[in-house]
Amino acid sequence: MLILLSCDDSSVTQTDKCKNITCSNKGICYVDHKYYIRCMCEEGYYEQGSSCIEYSCKEGYDLNGTNCIKTCQDCQGEEVYTSNPCENKDCSSNGFCRSDTDRTIYCNCYPGYKLETGMLCVESTCDAVSCAS
């Protein structure tokens, strides 16, 4: 869930912005770059929308930190994958990665930046109101 407040929202405190956000499953709501409502998750969990999801692996894999390592010889698929689909995805440091329940990832770019091909947030030349990408 993305909530973009008005461009001049200095009178609203972080507590007010997080008032109705629960960050289910071991999370605490916070405001990123004064605009984006996000969840800071406890160790062992990762952010997915307004929930914190426990690291887990599909059958035939064991969890080692945040990585899932194949344990059976007959399993189809890669040898190792990350349980958190956004791990090591930084959106060029101008935004943050989000994942859907189907593990699809995308970037939410910070104000003044827009999404380009893939996971790249680049500076936008538009005005502050229309830069909410």
Q: What is the mean pLDDT of residues 18-23?
A: 85
Q: Which domains does the chain have, with CATH numbers?
A: 86-133 (2.10.25)
Provide the pLDDT for residue 13.
55
For 24-57, the pLDDT digits (tens) are 878 999 998 888 889 999 988 999 888 899 999 9
| Strand spans (E) along the chain | 27-32, 36-41, 45-48, 51-54, 61-64, 67-70, 80-82, 95-99, 105-109, 113-116, 120-123
Residues in Cβ contact with 73 at an 8 Å cutoff, skipping those fewer than 6 apart? none
Q: What angle do CA 46, 48, 49 make, to 5 degrees?
A: 140
